Amino acid sequence: MLSLLSRRSLLSLAAGAAAIVTAGAGLGFGNTALAAPSIGQPAPAFMGVDSNGDTHALSDFKGKTVVLEWTNHDCPYVMKHYGADNMQALQKQAAEDGVVWLTVISSAPGKQGHVSPAEANSIAKERGAAPTAILFDPEGTIGRAYDARTTPHMYVIDGEGTLVFKGGIDDRPTADRADVEGANNYVVAALADVAAGTAVQTPTSRPYGCSIKY
């Protein structure tokens, strides 16, 4: 697992903290304005290349539940969930349940969070992360299509391709690892509802974390 006390993490902590935001902060994405995807409607189609050079499209996973997780390895909020083994545990449970988990990196080249495919694989290995794939979105095409604003920002898509959840991972919008325990995890709840064939009881939640560096 990547040590939170590593020199790289300590040096980047201040930079990440300076970009901490919560929903409603009015984040702008340049001159590109896209409508946010709606719950209960088809999730935006996308195609992306992963850290191993393989191409994935949302349509490839028809019939399967898909989780999208936006990430920035230097973000204190992302480090909270990986440092507590929370995100890894969710990824591994998802795999056991037949859920596809796609981690998306939308950081633009030269900006915080942007890494090479080799670096992404190395970070994932050090952390013990287990997503189905790590998708690269350096131009922000996928991120803007989903109106992804923070890291982490989470989405759940059911087997019919319908967006059933979007928002923050839980109800503890802090960077403190101690707050993972006891939090109301909205992604876990959404996946349980989907597996049970019932409507997601909490389809939206307030996203929190660091702004995505488009």
Residues 172-191: pLDDT tens digits? 999 999 999 999 999 999 99
Name the CA radius of gyration of the chain, rounded.
16
Angle at 54 between CA 51 and CA 60, to 5 degrees: 120
In this prediction, residue 2 carries a pLDDT of 37
Q: What tens digit of pLDDT does each residue of 125-162 get?
A: 999 999 999 999 999 999 999 999 999 999 999 999 99
Q: Which of 7-16, 58-67, 92-101, 186-195 has the lowest mean pLDDT?
A: 7-16
Distance in angstroms (rounded) separating the CA atoms of residues 40 and 31: 27
Sequence spans of domains, the chain: 7-22+38-211
42 cis-preceded (ω within 30 degrees of 0): no
CA 51 to centroid of chain Cα atoms: 15
| pLDDT score at 35 | 78
Which positions ≥6 away from 113 have C-beta within 8 Å?
71, 72, 73, 74, 75, 105, 107, 151, 212, 213
Residue with tokens 């995505």: 212
Q: Residue 145, class by beta-carbon neighbours within 10 Å (0-12 exposed, 13-18 middle, 19+ buried)?
A: middle
Reported as a pLDDT band with limits 50, 70 and 90, residue 22 is very low
Q: In what order do the strands lie in the sheet with 208-211?
A: 20-22, 208-211, 150-151
**What's the chain's average pLDDT?**
88
For range 1-8, the mean pLDDT: 36
Q: Give pLDDT tens digits for 59-83.
A: 999 999 999 999 999 999 999 999 9
Q: What is the pLDDT of residues 201-214, one digit of tens each?
A: 999 999 999 999 99
First vs last Cα of the chain: how many Å apart? 27
7-18 helix and 76-83 helix, angle to the nearest 10 degrees = 130
The answer to whether the pTM exceeds 0.75 is yes
Please tell me the distance from the alpha carbon of residue 9 to that of residue 7, in angstroms, as a whole number.
Answer: 5
d(CA 1, CA 83): 8
Q: What is the CATH number of domain 7-22+38-211?
A: 3.40.30.10
Confidence band, pLDDT 50/70/90 cuts, at residue 1:
very low
- How are strands ordered across the β-sheet holding 133-136? 55-57, 47-50, 133-136, 100-105, 66-70, 153-157, 163-167
- Please, which pLDDT band fits residue 12 given cuts at 50, 70 and 90? very low
